[in-house]
Amino acid sequence: MRNIIFIAPPAAGKGTISDLLVKSYNYEHISTGDLLREEIKKSSDLGKKLDEIIKQGKLVNDEFMINLMENKLNSLDTNKSFILDGFPRTLEQAKKLDEMLVSNKVTNNLVVYLNISLEEALKRVMGRVICPNCKRSYNLNNEELKPKVDNICDDCKVGLEHRSDDNEETFKTRFQNYLENTSPILDYYKDKRILISIDAMDTLDNIIAEIKIEAEK
C-alpha cells in the first residue's frame, strides 16, 4: 500500500479514517495531534506550553513540528506503510517533509484531501468524545459513531473525554488557520500529481473504499 498523507480541516475525519485503515491494512498511524496531547498529559514544562497553544487553536511552530516528525520517521519500521495525520500543516512543513522522505528513500506516497464544510465540521466537533487510551473518536450526534455504552470506549472500556480545543470559539480559529496555512499546500501537491480529493461528508465505508483503490495503485 502507498503511504498516505492527509490534508484536511479540523474534524474532517483524519483520525477516524486512519483507525479504519490501520485495522484493515496494518498501516502505522502517525497523528501529530495525538503526539502533542501525549506530551501535554505528562504536565512537563513543554506540555504546558503546548497546551496553551492548542487550547487557543493556534499552530505549534514549524521548527518544533519538523523536528518531531523527523524523529518519528527515522524510528519507523521500514517494512510498514504509514499514514501522516496532521502533518504537514504549512508549506514549510511540506517542503521539509519532501526532504525527509527523499533521505529515507520513501517514494510511494498518496496525498488525500478530505473536503468538508465549516458547518459540518463544527457539528462534528461539538459531538466528539475521544478515548484517552486508544485515541478513538466517537460522535454523540451520530447513531453509528456513538459508543455502545454511554461514555465508555467500546474497545478499552475506559471513560471518554472531550478535547480542550473542541469548543466553538477555538474551532473557528482552527478552521481559519487551516484556510490560511494548510490549504495552500494543496496546490503544492497538485503540481506533484499525487493528490486526490475525497468528499469527507460521504459515509465512512465509501471513503475507505475510495482511498483503498488509490492506495493500492
In the complex, the residues that contact ligand AP5 under the rule CB under 6 A are: 8, 10-16, 32-33, 36, 53-54, 57-60, 65, 86-87, 89, 93, 124, 127-128, 137-139, 142, 145, 165, 174, 204, 207
Least distance from Mg ion to the Cβ atom of residue 107, Å: 26
CB under 5 to 8 A by kind: which of Mg ion, ligand AP5, none does 145 bind? ligand AP5
Helix (H, G, I), strand (E, B) or coil at 210: helix
Q: Do the Cβ atoms of 134 and 153 come closer than 8 Å?
A: yes
Closest CB to Mg ion belongs to which residue?
A: 15
Q: Is the dihedral of CA 5, 66, 167, 155 positive or negative?
A: positive
Helix (H, G, I), strand (E, B) or coil at 139: strand
CB under 5 to 8 A by kind: which of ligand AP5, Mg ion, none does 136 bind? none
Closest CB to ligand AP5 belongs to which residue?
A: 33
Number of chain residues interacting with Mg ion (CB under 5 A):
1
Burial of residue 105 (CB within 10 Å: 0-12, 13-18, 19+) is: exposed
Least distance from ligand AP5 to the Cβ atom of residue 79, Å: 25
Question: Considering only residues 12-41, where is the footprint of Mg ion by CB under 5 A?
Answer: 15
Best CA proximity match to 180, nearest among 1, 29, 9, 24 = 9
Helix (H, G, I), strand (E, B) or coil at 111: strand
Write out the three cell numbers for 105: 528513500
Q: Which is nearer to ligand AP5, 86 or 195 (CB)?
A: 86
Least distance from ligand AP5 to the Cβ atom of residue 39, Å: 11
CB under 5 to 8 A by kind: which of ligand AP5, Mg ion, none does 138 bind? ligand AP5
Alpha carbon distance 15, 65 (integer Å): 18
The 8-class DSSP code of residue 80 comes to S
Cα angle 161, 90, 69 (rounded to 5 degrees) comes to: 65
Q: Which is nearer to Mg ion, 36 or 97 (CB)?
A: 36
Q: Is residue 57 a contact residue for Mg ion (CB under 5 A)?
A: no
Q: Which is nearer to ligand AP5, 1 or 5 (CB)?
A: 5
Q: Which residues bind Mg ion (CB under 5 A)?
A: 15
